[in-house]
Structure 1
Amino acid sequence: MNTLLKSLLIASSLALFAGCSSSGGTAGDGSADGAAGASTYGAGRGSAFGGGAGGTGAGGAAGPAGGYVGGPGASEAQRVVYFDFDSSDIRADSRPVIEAHAQYLVQNPGAAVVLEGHTDERGSREYNIALGERRSTAVRRVMETLGVKSQQMRNVSYGKERPAVAGHDEAAYSQNRRVEIAY
């Protein structure tokens, strides 16, 4: 029965993911680039994990999480969830990363993570702190749906204060819009 319940939860979360789509940005952050997200969906770093959502990641065998490695043994690239411009919607190419870490946390109830929300440099400090929080909360909700206990996760938002990449173009922005999963 427990396996059936888990299967139903996973199926419903996948259906939820399928219904999520990014609007590309609302320019609510004071930026003039409200359409940037529409052109970057699935572009940029989505293939950095070994060929996209269905590929096998470095150091992992194909499995329930598409070959992605979760837990402290995951590579730095396999600990990052990327987002579209001005969005906290989970992208399809990020699902395997979240699933791998959720699987690790469910199997290791003593383990804990910090979900660190980040944004690109556009917009005010206050707006970006709130957006980073929404992003880390979105990852947390998915992990909870996959069975991770809330006590195993802590959210923090750095907004635009800790960019992964320096630069003032879409290539840099796309790498800075992220949640890092830190053990």
Structure 2
Amino acid sequence: MKMENIHLTEEYVKVWNCKGYKPFMVKDSRGNLLVSGRTMYKFGIPYVTIIGGLGGPGISDYSEKLLKEILNRYRVRKLVIYDFHERPILEKYGFRKYIDYTFIIDISNINELWKKLNKKNRNAIRFAEKSGVYFEALEKLEQINEIYHLFIEQAKRWNFKIPRKDYFENIWKEMKVKRKSRIFCGEFKG
């Protein structure tokens, strides 16, 4: 079932509003909010596959001069960009188009979910289990502190930016309480 993109829920905006994060809601040229099935772009930079953040400017048309100005302002303010309207000029600057959807999957019956996976995915899961990889939902806010330093190390190694720790704490407070989201941690026991 295709649902609203969870990145645009009210709770997500509250999370991004904490301590100076800059949310932008995506609008079309008539001012209508775009929620699901949007055309999005990602930078053609090594190790950066998806641009995170919340939205971008709702402008109906881009001249090259205007696009350069927008990108420069985002760079100076260290804002993260996605959700531009599809414009051919963007590809000149290393953006690539992809379609983004959020799906909500009922996992109450793990056996039924397992049957729906293709053979390649089932084998990958079995291999990960045999190799000592497992995932568990974080049950306490304090567990975020335990894993955040690992996230920082990974970000340094792969040269990408991560949100501050209070971002994850706010996800916990806003979404966990309303049972809309959970944070999972993968661990290797080998």
Range of TM-score over shorter length: under 0.3
Which has the larger Rg? Answer: 2
TM-score (ref. length: structure 2): 0.25
TM-score (ref. length: structure 1): 0.25
